């Protein structure tokens, strides 16, 4: 379904200073249209995913066909980017996301946030509002969004052993079906997550939001998406529930739905 014949090479920017500096890999495809409204898509991946996944590539290809820009990148500790994964926090990955957004995009963009990327997309809108740049976001497409996942999805289920590991060694590991290596969750991720919570009241984003959520998602229950929708009640929000959809939403029919949703947001 996606051939990505015109592959965009990665380039690198440095984010942070001194011991906090890390090289962030970015693939940016420029647009060639003078259309009104959104000028491009920005891909925000999930926890331990990268910008070469099937959804990200499909969105890049779709942007090329429409003459729109597309910006994909890897958070530090992910994919082609530098930095250690265990140093990652929502604040750190948010800083990188805003830096990429400011340096590579022009005009209004649609932020496409997958899983944890949905949380970062929401925080990006809040930070851009503080900078007086709210008009840089045309809309949000959130795929199995996991805002506040540290507090809402993981903390209530922590075992005594996991809590002890967080305190004694600063992290714990859990197996994952998405790769050979276990997922690592650090104490600093949980502590920092508490400083970035968004599901605390009504989110005044001022942009259209479309959520796509699988009802067979073992990682982010569909009820979490419905709860997020309640916090977005002041905005133009649409939710699509895919009855047999999983967390990845990477089947061909899922990707078709994602691209159709982007087309609808462009209209």
CATH of the domain at 249: 3.40.50.1820
Domain count, the chain: 1
Per-residue pLDDT, averaged over 124-146, amounts to 98
Is residue 242 domain-resident? yes
Residue 227 belongs to some domain of the structure: yes
pLDDT at position 155: 97
d(CA 226, CA 223): 5
d(CA 3, CA 219): 29
- What per-residue confidence (pLDDT) applies to 34? 72
Q: What is the mean pLDDT of residues 181-203?
A: 96
Give the pLDDT score at 5. 46
Q: What pLDDT is attached to residue 6?
A: 67
Q: Cα separation of 217 and 213, whole Å?
A: 8
**Is the model's pLDDT at 116 over the cut of 60?**
yes
Specify if 2 maps to a domain: no
Range of the domain at 132: 25-266
What average pLDDT does range 19-44 have in this prediction?
A: 93
Residues 136 and 105: their CA atoms lie apart, in Å, by 9
Three-class secondary structure of residue 230 per DSSP? helix
Residue 29: strand pairing partners: 70
Domain assignment present for residue 13? The answer is no
> How many CB atoms lie under 10 A from the CB of residue 236?
12
Pairing of strands 183-186, 171-174: antiparallel
Q: How far apart are CA 24 and CA 185, in angstroms?
A: 21
Six-digit token pair at 195? 């400083």
Closest CA to 26 of 98, 64, 80: 80
Average pLDDT value for residue range 138-154? 98
Domain annotation covers residue 185? yes
Determine the Cα–Cα distance for residues 222 and 67; give it in Å rounded to an integer: 34
Residue 7 placed within a domain: no
**Nearest to 28, CA basis, from 43, 50, 48, 46:** 43
Residue 122 is assigned to a structural domain of this protein: yes
Q: Has residue 180 been placed in a domain?
A: yes
pLDDT band at 36 (very low <50, low <70, confident <90, very high): confident
Confidence class of residue 233 from pLDDT cuts 50, 70 and 90? confident
Quote the pLDDT of residue 8: 83
Q: Cα separations (Å) of 82 from 88, 102, 136, 204, 215?
A: 11, 20, 27, 34, 35
Query: Which pLDDT does position 176 carry in this prediction?
Result: 83
pTM: 0.95
């Amino acid at each position: 379904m996606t051939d990505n014949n015109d592959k965009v090479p990665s380039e690198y920017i440095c984010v942070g200073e001194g011991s906090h500096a890390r090289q962030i890999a970015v693939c940016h495809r420029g647009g060639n249209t003078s259309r009104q409204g959104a000028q491009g898509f920005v891909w925000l991946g999930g926890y331990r995913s990268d910008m070469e996944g099937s959804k990200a590539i499909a969105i890049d290809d779709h942007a090329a066909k429409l003459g729109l820009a597309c910006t994909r990148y890897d958070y530090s500790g992910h994919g082609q980017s530098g930095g250690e994964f265990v140093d990652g926090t929502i604040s750190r990955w948010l800083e990188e996301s805003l830096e990429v957004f400011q340096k590579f995009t022009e005009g209004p963009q649609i932020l496409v946030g997958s899983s944890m990327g949905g949380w970062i997309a929401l925080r990006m809108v809040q930070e851009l509002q503080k900078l007086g740049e709210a008009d840089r976001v045309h809309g949000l497409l959130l795929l199995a969004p996991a805002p506040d996942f540290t507090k809402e999805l993981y903390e209530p289920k922590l075992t005594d052993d996991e809590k002890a590991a967080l305190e004694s060694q600063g992290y714990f590991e859990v197996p994952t079906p998405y790769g050979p290596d276990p997922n690592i969750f650090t104490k600093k991720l949980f502590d920092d997550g508490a400083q970035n919570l968004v599901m605390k009241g009504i989110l005044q984003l001022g942009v259209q939001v479309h959520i796509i959520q699988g009802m067979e998602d073992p990682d982010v229950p569909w009820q979490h998406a419905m709860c997020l929708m309640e916090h977005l009640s002041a905005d133009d929000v649409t939710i699509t529930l895919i009855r047999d959809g999983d967390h990845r939403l990477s089947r061909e029919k899922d990707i078709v739905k994602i691209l159709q949703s982007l087309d609808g947001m462009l209209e």
